[in-house]
C-alpha cells in the first residue's frame, strides 16, 4: 500500500466568498471562491517543515523544486526548514527542475528532467521532491523513478496539494500540506494557462474566468 501522509482536509463544500479576503481587482471576477487562505498555507507549511525534520533528521538533503507550480511552496518550505534546522551541522542544497512528460501514457516511464545543474549530483544523496499537486499520480511516479535511476540514496516527496481524485498509478505521498476536493484551483503558484500564479490564496475559478483565459497560454 502506498504511503499517505496526514494532511489538512479541505471539505467539498468549503468555499469562502472572495470579498472576505484580499483578492486583486484584476482577478476578482475570475475567481469563484477562496478555499485555502494565504495565512493557513503559511501555518501549515511551518508545521510541515517540522514533520519533515522529525522524519529526516539532520541528514544532508537536496530539495528539488518542480517548476513552475511549486515555486512559492518551495521557497516557503526551504525558509521554514532552515529555521527548524538551526542546530544542524549538514547543509540543505536546492535545485530546480522542470519535468517533461513523454507523450505515451506508461505509468513508470522515465521523465526528461530539464534544468538539473549536473546529472550526477543526486547520486548517493537524500532527495526531497517538492511539487505543487498530485492528481493522477503519473508525474510523481515518473519523477520518483527517474530520480532513483540517477542513483539517489533515498527519495521522499512533499506536496502542497493532494487532490481527491482516483489515482492512475498509486504513489507514496510522504509530506502533504492539504488534501483538496476535485475542483480546478489556482493561486499560490498554480496556474490556469500561466495566469494566477501570483494570487496569494488557493482559489476556485469562476466560469467567467475559465472562459476568459481559455487560450491565454498559447
**What residues are annotated to the active site?**
135
Nearest to 6 by CA among 176, 161, 182, 136: 176
- Contacts of residue 209, defined as CB under 8 A and 6 or more positions apart, other chains included, come to 27, 29, 30, 31, 32, 192
Is residue 191 at the binding interface for Mg ion, with CB under 5 A as the rule? no
Residues 95/117, Cβ–Cβ less than 8 Å: yes
Q: How far is the CB of 192 from Mg ion (least distance, A)?
A: 13
Give the Cα separation of 146 and 206 in Å (integer): 37
* Cell numbers representing residue 218 in the block: 498559447
Q: How far is the CB of 209 from ligand HPA (least distance, A)?
A: 12
CA angle 32, 34, 39 (to 5 degrees): 160
Is residue 133 at the binding interface for ligand HPA, with CB under 6 A as the rule? yes
Is residue 132 at the binding interface for Mg ion, with CB under 5 A as the rule? yes
The packing angle between helices 38-56 and 71-84, to 10°, is 50
Q: How far is the CB of 70 from Mg ion (least distance, A)?
A: 6
Of 2, 17, 58, 184, the residue at the interface with ligand HPA (CB under 6 A) is: 184
Is residue 36 at the binding interface for ligand HPA, with CB under 6 A as the rule? no
Stretch that binds ligand HPA, among 13-21, 111-119, 184-192, 207-215 (CB under 6 A): 184-192
Q: Which is nearer to ligand HPA, 102 or 184 (CB)?
A: 184
Site for ligand HPA, rule CB under 6 A: 133, 135, 184-186, 190
Site for Mg ion, rule CB under 5 A: 69, 132
Amino acid at each position: 500500500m502506498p504511503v499517505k501522509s496526514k494532511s489538512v482536509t479541505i471539505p467539498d463544500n468549503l468555499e469562502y466568498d472572495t470579498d472576505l479576503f484580499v483578492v486583486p481587482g484584476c482577478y476578482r471576477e475570475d475567481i469563484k471562491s477562496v478555499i485555502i487562505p494565504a495565512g493557513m498555507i503559511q501555518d501549515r507549511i511551518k508545521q510541515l517543515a517540522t514533520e519533515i525534520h522529525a522524519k529526516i533528521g539532520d541528514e544532508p538533503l537536496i530539495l528539488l523544486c518542480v517548476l513552475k507550480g511549486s515555486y512559492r511552496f518551495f521557497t516557503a518550505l526551504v525558509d521554514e526548514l532552515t529555521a527548524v534546522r538551526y542546530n544542524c551541522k549538514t547543509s540543505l542544497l536546492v535545485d530546480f527542475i522542470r519535468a517533461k512528460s513523454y507523450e505515451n501514457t506508461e505509468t513508470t516511464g522515465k521523465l526528461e528532467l530539464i534544468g538539473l545543474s549536473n546529472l550526477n549530483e543526486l547520486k548517493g544523496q537524500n532527495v526531497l521532491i517538492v511539487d505543487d499537486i498530485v492528481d493522477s499520480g503519473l508525474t510523481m511516479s515518473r519523477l520518483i523513478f527517474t530520480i532513483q535511476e540517477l542513483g539517489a540514496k533515498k527519495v521522499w516527496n512533499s506536496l502542497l496539494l493532494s487532490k481527491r481524485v482516483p489515482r492512475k498509478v498509486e504513489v507514496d505521498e510522504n509530506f502533504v500540506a492539504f488534501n483538496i476536493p476535485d475542483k480546478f484551483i489556482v493561486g499560490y503558484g498554480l496556474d490556469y494557462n500561466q495566469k494566477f500564479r501570483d494570487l496569494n490564496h488557493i482559489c476556485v475559478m469562476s466560469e467567467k474566468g475559465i472562459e476568459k483565459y481559455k487560450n491565454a497560454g498559447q
